[in-house]
Amino acid sequence: MYRMNVLCCAGTGCSASNSAQIVENLNESLKKYGIDGEVKVVKTGCFGLCQKGPIVAVYPDKVFYCHVKPEDADRIVSEHLYKGRVVKELELTDEDLETKEKIYDIDKIKFYEKQQRIALRNCGKINPEDITEYIAMDGYQALGKVLTEMTPQQVIDEMKKSGLRGRGGAGFPTGLKWQFEKDQPGDEKYVICNADEGDPGAFMDRSILEGDPHAILEGMAIMAYAVGAHQGYIYIRAEYPIAVGRLEIAIKQAKEYGLLGKDIFGSGFDFDIELRLGAGAFVCGEETALISSIEGKRGMPNPKPPFPAVSGVWKKPTSINNVETLANVAQIINKGADWYASIGTEKSKGTKVFALGGKIKNTGLVEIPMGTTLREIIYEIGGGCPNNKEFKAVQTGGPSGGCLTEKELDTPIDYDNLVAAGSMMGSGGMIVLDEDNCMVDVARFYLEFIVEESCGKCTPCRVGTKRLLEMLTKICNGEGTLEMLDQMEKLCYEIKDTALCGLGQTAPNPILSTLSHFRDEYIAHIVDKKCPAGVCKALLTYKIDPDKCKKCSMCARNCPVNAITGVPGKVPYVIDTDKCIKCGTCMSNCRFGAISRG
């Protein structure tokens, strides 16, 4: 029995900052001070507060260390774990998260106060590579309950009653999807976990898989029992090596414990899971393209109907749910549909995980009850924009979503409200933009991504998105015309109405939303040949004010193309606009504010 547990984040973000070495150093120091039998170091999944990583949490003291480096490990052991003195310099403070009091208790960290962790319940709390720790957190209890106490129809009815909707973006009722497959004739059916998370800035599914892989295996097994399937696939991109590795470990352990395979819990129910690695194509997040990829074909979408519940993988009935959806299933069985339905709004039950990023102080994963407002997420959880910058917009739903402005910040988040506001839930990416972001450039960025990721099967997406990108590029370069705005809008609606799959149908959303809320920025690029945010390089000019210039030569000495001339101490410096590459180095090196950008 250990008197203390030290939890160290071993998710992708903290691993990239050498958390593995922190764990190794902690264990070495514990041995050095002779307390390795008293203190256990546990590698966990993501804590959510990625901005402060690598994170080390100490229980039962409830001390939260942030920005830990490998060289800090010995001090944490010698001072805190050995002598009982908290290392104040590493502890999360009120200045870090703008709370009113000093933080000694993890449970009082403002970042978590308005969150309700259901899908993320075990992330940052257990070792994802140890099945016994998952079992200790009521793991596989729900699977045992459904196999020994419930009929498949009762499981589906419980999902329907809970109000759980798909968290992959479309928001289709989960219980209804399972019902469709169950009602199909035939003994050969399949279930699939869609872990092909491709939105820029999104890492919700990856973090769940890295921090709590058994929750997904249990959710899949319950889904398989409900629909009558005996084989499942987890389709995950190969770019998620930590998640893949932990899933492989989890599947092996579940089989050893008899929780996957033949006659699970002595119920006569057989179920097995295989991994299928994707090559990172965004379009494979679409269910018919995903099915094609699993079958060894090129990942391209197919017209619907037939829907996968009728004819899916290998032309057999198939249910596909994403990672976050499946992470909720066991908790609904354990705590009841009424419990889950009591959380959220009338039409959107439960919680939603968002990857909060961009111009925000506290980047990371947040799980909030449906109905929480954007303002609460951005300002109370996220801490607002850094450096006192003014909030400009928030992009929800990734490339498929849209930008929402200050006017929409008090919108309660759910599927219907976000669509009504001109955006969408999507899988859960939430990118905050401030006054320094150019909204035309933001739209261009997302269209570049869409053009790159289009499979090319249908003309509206293959050709239409490319034409949109060409027009956006011309506008960013100061070569646009006002007629282009009407042409873009017309083409956007044509693509939405005629594209084959969701990728093409939602591709115009970033353009339509930015045109709706920030049309003045488009007009400034076209008419005034200026980028109000100073982002679009082709429209920038740098100028030195001769009255403010101190003739120090700092700008000229740092210019990479020798575009600045003058005489030190005698002649004010000037910029040759023909040579200038608009890198901004001169402006960042001028200590006297003599250089302006316009």
Q: In this predicted structure, what is the pLDDT of residue 79?
A: 95
> What is the C-alpha separation between 463 and 454, in angstroms, rounded?
10
For 144, the token pair is 């045992």
What tens digit of pLDDT does each residue of 335-365 get? 999 999 999 999 999 999 999 999 999 999 9
Q: Which residue has the tokens 């910040």?
A: 409
Residue 97, pLDDT score: 53
Indicate whether 332 and 197 sit together in one domain.
yes
State pLDDT tens for residues 549-578: 999 999 999 999 999 999 999 999 999 988
What is the rounded distance in angstroms from the CA atom of residue 24 to the CA atom of residue 55? Answer: 15
Strands 4-9 and 56-59: antiparallel
**What CA dihedral angle connects 41, 46, 52 and 57, to 10 degrees?**
-30
DSSP-assigned letters across all residues of 100-166: SS----GGG-HHHHT---STTTTTTTS-TT-HHHHHHTTTTHHHHHHHHH--HHHHHHHHHHHT-B-
The domain that holds 583 is classified in CATH as: 3.30.70.20
Tell me which residue of 399, 1, 8, 335 sits closest to 169, measured CA to CA. Answer: 399
pTM > 0.75: yes or no: yes
pLDDT for the residue numbered 541 = 87
- Residue 290 CB partners (closer than 8 Å, separation 6+): 192, 194, 196, 235, 278, 284, 299, 320
User: What digits encode the pLDDT tens for the residues 318-333?
Assistant: 999 999 999 999 999 9
Could you tell me the residue range of the domain that residue 400 belongs to?
A: 351-434
| 533 located within any domain | no
430 and 443 fall within a common domain? no
Is residue 120, in this structure, part of any structural domain at all?
no
Q: Per-residue pLDDT for 104 more than 60? A: no
Taking each continuous run of H as one helix and of E as one strand, the counts in the chain are 26, 18
Specify whether 211 is located in the same domain as 332: yes
Domain assignment present for residue 124? The answer is no
Residue 148 lies in a domain: yes
Q: Residues 500-517: pLDDT tens digits?
A: 998 899 999 999 999 999
Q: Which residues contact 70 (CB under 8 A, 6 or more apart)?
A: 18, 21, 22, 24, 25
Whether residue 538 contacts residue 477, with contact meaning beta carbons closer than 8 Å, is answered with: yes
Kindly state the average pLDDT of the residues 405-425. 88
What distance in Å separates the CA atoms of residue 475 and residue 469, rounded to the nearest whole number?
10
Q: Other CB atoms closer than 10 Å to residue 222's CB: what's the count?
A: 28
Same domain, 477 and 563: no
* 211 and 284 housed in the same domain: yes
Using the Cα atoms of residue 336, residue 342, residue 347 and residue 352 in order, give the sign of their dihedral.
negative
Q: Which of 67, 86, 113 delimits the end of a domain? A: 113
Q: Are residues 508 and 593 in the same domain?
A: no
Q: Which CATH number belongs to the domain containing residue 25 in this structure?
A: 3.40.30.10
Q: Do 85 and 172 lie in a common domain?
A: no
Stretch 254-261: mean pLDDT: 97
pLDDT for 100: 44
Does residue 519 share a domain with residue 394?
Answer: no
Residues 456-479: pLDDT tens digits? 999 999 999 999 999 999 999 999
**Would you say 400 and 426 are in contact if contact means Cβ atoms under 8 Å apart?**
yes
Q: Both 182 and 270 in a single domain?
A: yes
**What is the count of structural domains for the chain?**
5
Count Cβ atoms below 10 Å from residue 484 Cβ, excluding itself.
Answer: 17
191 shares a domain with 174: yes
Most confident segment among 79-93, 390-404, 477-491, 582-596: 477-491
What residues does 574 pair with on adjacent strands? 565
> Please, which pLDDT band fits residue 107 given cuts at 50, 70 and 90?
low
Residues 6+ apart with CB under 8 A from 463: none
Contact 75, 42 (CB under 8 A): no
The domain that contains 420 carries what CATH number?
3.10.20.600
Determine phi and psi for 423, rounding to 5 degrees: -130, -155
